[in-house]
Structure 1
Amino acid sequence: MRKWRRPVRTVRLRFTVLYGAMFLLSGIGLLVITNLVGLGGTRTSQSAPSGTPPVEPATLAAATDRITWLQTQLSDTHAAQSRQLLIGSAVALVVMGVVSVVLGRVIAGRVLRPLRMITAATRRISADNLHERLAAQGPADEVKDLADTIDELLERLESSFDAQRRFVANASHELRTPLATMRASLDVALAKPEPIPAQTAVLADRLRTELDQVDRLLEGFLTLARTQHGALADRTTLSLRQLANAALHARAADITTRRLAVDPAGAIDDSAWTQGNRTLLTRMIDNVIDNAITHNHQGGWIRLAGTTGAGTAQLVVETGGRVLDQEQVDSLVRPFQRLSADRTHSGTGSGLGLSIVAAIAAAHGGTLDLQARPEGGLRVAISLPAAAVPAETAA
């Protein structure tokens, strides 16, 4: 004998039971209202007929007239009762129709609430917080099956992202050793006392330049991997004005060489402070300033500004230049995306600068906004959560 198995509680079954019970109750209500209206009509029919009955029949003709009168009264009473019953049924139908719609909406909302919660939780989860799970509670039905499947998918995605970041970080770290060996070999070869042919010296300089470029590329990979790996350590309160001043000071020689007119970082509000990792935030602003210097025309200008408001500290760096296509500008936040080569004076660059800026800003709960200026050039705006000015600085 086969063992009896308890039927599975499915969403379809729950909908069937709920809506079936609802419409059953609606039908019962409709019948009750109809019967109440009918009882009212019966009471009316049982009352004395209106009008003055004829005198007691004395002849057959008089009896026939009375029968005819009674039949007419009975027909009128039945017609009035039928109309009353029809009107009552129509009213009951309208009332119960409205009640059924309201009840159906309420019940459907309660039944579909888990799906809405799953949708809202899924929207909150992105590449930066794949560790979160839906963890849906409730009976083992299709809704919980869906939530568990999404959780498993998120787990696989998290493992894949972690593996990718570890690979990038490990590969970048391991490649630094052969690069250092190659650079040391070049230095040893050039340091020999024998005269070195000019062609060899040019080739060595070219190789050293390329090795430096590869080294910067690997450093960018390491920064991206570190930024995208999760929570940031060593958080401290930093001034955007001080970071921008330091970046400009460190690049004073490049600014002079290119004859760039730079608005001082004093235009940045003293209250523009944020909290985060000093190394990463320094790298972020360094990349923005480097981008402003490198992707600028000879004798151009750079303008810095910073404000604080609505819990956000913002740093804005603008540069002049030719008119740019906004579609191409939007793509600069993706790794290895560059504008046309004639925009740079050197033709070099890893294509990771602004993508690193976007990743660091996102890791700190901020955003990066790139806009092509209508007059020409680029506007880079970094928005970060504002932090209170330290007490010793305010004093």
Structure 2
Amino acid sequence: MGGPRPGRTVAWRFTLLYAALFLASGAALLALTNLLAFRDTTVAPGPASPQLDLARAQEHIRLLQERLDEVEIMQSRRLLAGSLIALLVMAVVSVLLGRVAARRVLRPLRTVTAATRRITADSLHERLAVAGPADEVKDLADTIDGLLERLEASFAAQRRFVADASHELRTPLATMRASVDVAMAKPEPVPAQTAALAGRIRTELDRVDRLLEGFLMLARAQHGALADRAAVSLAELAESALAARDGEITDRRLTVDTPGLGEAAWTTGSTTLLARLVENLVDNAVLHNVEGGWIRLSTARRDGHAELVVENGSDLLDPARVAELTRPFHRMGAARTGSDDGSGLGLAIVAAVAAAHDGSVDLHALAGGGLRVTVRLPSPPAAQATSDRPSSAVGREQAAARRVPAPAAPADRRAAGAEEAAR
């Protein structure tokens, strides 16, 4: 990529432009000054008199000289005042002309800046493609285009690596899991120690599988394009996530409160990623809860955004540090590590998916113990128009089954959990 040709650079054009403006202003000022200077003031002589003697002639010359000095002083003052006025006027004109010229010359830079700000990780295929003379502006635009090309290739290589890693790593994991299952399924009795070891191996394989799946989902949320965009109801996703965790909710005697899921709260985005976002929130509320605890879910639409709020009971959390839970593998003591089923990527994936959809995630530690996670996603009019559709029958049945009053005390929550298990 060659540099700009001599004589066509922005610096050279600025030099010529402002030199021309200065010369024009100076010429106008000089013309005005000369015009004022050549307006001569003369003293008209009186009629000649032969009778004037030498003394009277000398006196007359002295008076004329004084008169001329006064005229010169007046003329100098008028010239100075006129020059100052002309200088002020020309300064204003020069500033205006310079402003117009600078805006005209720098217009391509504003175009480059606006185009660069529009390009994101999902639109790296776009280019600035600035046309014009081969000056510094075009050189800068071509350099940015080259950078975008390299970034696009890097992101494409990363996505290919993620896809290849998904295939290559899942295959040996499945093979090892199948080998353990076959070894345990043999007809002859298996020693208790071997069975325990096989169980631990299977558990660790499942953990690695979940960890790998979390890595892949996090990479897709952070760097992948949202190809499968569709209108999605956060309320329906929440009901589906609760249904998937129904057995564990019953086993742990958790009380689920869902009166706030009546509003669909539609948004537009990747169905797969948004489903994972809601599933991770529900999983987090279940896994990091206390025995006989509670979970509360609600959806709403506020200020053009679909909002999902998931709350759960747990031990007291540090309000100043709860925001750190969106970092991968970050935990906060026993309250966040009571279960071995978590991968440490749940809330990190939630934050990445929300950011990919131009949304936000807010974490708040509850005063009595527990965590509130609020997800806000854009809800454009096109998605909100879909909210007129009724929710799925399954979702309504699940909502009716789970809609119980919010617990007021741990004893009440345990009783409600036991009643839920009995049903």
Q: Please give the range of the TM-score, normalised by the shorter of the 2 chains.
A: 0.7 to 0.9
- CA distance in 2: counterparts of 1:59 and 1:67, whole angstroms: 12
2:133 alignment partner, SS class: coil
2:372 alignment partner, SS class: strand
**Is residue 307 of structure 1 aligned with residue 300 of structure 2?**
yes
Residue in 2 that maps onto 1:393: 389
Matches within 5 A, 1:188-267: 188-227=182-221, 228-233=223-228, 235-264=229-258, 266-267=259-260
Matches within 5 A, 1:264-343: 264=258, 266-268=259-261, 270-320=263-313, 321-324=315-318, 326=320, 328-340=321-333, 342-343=335-336
**Number of paired residues?**
380
Q: Is the 8 A contact 1:263 1:303 kept in 2?
A: yes
Deviation of 1:331 after TM superposition, in Å, equals 4.1
Going from structure 1 to structure 2, the CA distance change for 1:170 and 1:332 (only over 3 Å counts) comes to farther
Deviation of 1:126 after TM superposition, in Å, equals 3.2
- CA distance in 2: counterparts of 1:339 and 1:102, whole angstroms: 61
Residue in 2 that maps onto 1:3: none
Corresponding residue to 1:371 among 363, 374, 382: 363
Q: Is the 8 A contact 1:26 1:100 kept in 2?
A: yes
Deviation of 1:391 after TM superposition, in Å, equals 7.5
Residue in 2 that maps onto 1:167: 161
Q: TM-score, normalised by structure 1?
A: 0.86
- CA distance in 2: counterparts of 1:333 and 1:165, whole angstroms: 23
Q: Is the 8 A contact 2:354 2:360 kept in 1?
A: yes
**Is residue 144 of structure 1 aligned with residue 138 of structure 2?**
yes
2:209 alignment partner, SS class: helix
Going from structure 1 to structure 2, the CA distance change for 1:14 and 1:180 (only over 3 Å counts) comes to same
Give the gaps of 5 or more residues in structure 1. 1-5
Query: For residue 279 of structure 2, what is the amino acid of its counterpart?
Result: D
2:384 alignment partner, SS class: coil
Which has the bigger relative contact order, CA under 8 A and spacing at least 6?
2
Q: Is the 8 A contact 1:305 1:317 kept in 2?
A: yes
Residue in 1 that maps onto 2:342: 349
Of the structure 1 ranges 114-123 and 198-207, higher mean CA displacement relative to structure 2 is found in: 114-123
Q: TM-score, normalised by structure 2?
A: 0.81
Percent of pairs identical after alignment?
Answer: 59
Structure 1 residues 89-143: Cα deviation after superposition (integer angstroms, max 9, x where no partner)? 1222222222222322332222222223323333333333322222222211111
Residue in 1 that maps onto 2:37: 38
Query: For residue 244 of structure 1, what is the amino acid of its counterpart?
Result: A
Moved over 6 A (4+): none
**Is residue 381 of structure 1 aligned with residue 374 of structure 2?**
yes
- CA distance in 1: counterparts of 2:362 and 2:235, whole angstroms: 20
Residue in 1 that maps onto 2:13: 14
Give the gaps of 5 or more residues in structure 2. 392-423
Of the structure 1 ranges 11-20 and 121-130, higher mean CA displacement relative to structure 2 is found in: 121-130
Of the structure 1 ranges 76-85 and 354-363, higher mean CA displacement relative to structure 2 is found in: 354-363
Of the structure 1 ranges 127-136 and 218-227, higher mean CA displacement relative to structure 2 is found in: 218-227
Residue in 2 that maps onto 1:89: 83
Deviation of 1:192 after TM superposition, in Å, equals 1.5
- CA distance in 2: counterparts of 1:141 and 1:389, whole angstroms: 50
1:121 alignment partner, SS class: helix
- CA distance in 1: counterparts of 2:58 and 2:7, whole angstroms: 72
2:389 alignment partner, SS class: helix
1:79 alignment partner, SS class: helix
Deviation of 1:207 after TM superposition, in Å, equals 0.8
CA RMSD across the alignment: 2.7
Going from structure 1 to structure 2, the CA distance change for 1:378 and 1:36 (only over 3 Å counts) comes to farther
Deviation of 1:153 after TM superposition, in Å, equals 1.2
- CA distance in 2: counterparts of 1:98 and 1:269, whole angstroms: 65
Q: Is the 8 A contact 1:292 1:319 kept in 2?
A: yes
Query: For residue 103 of structure 2, what is the amino acid of its counterpart?
Result: G
- CA distance in 1: counterparts of 2:216 and 2:158, whole angstroms: 12
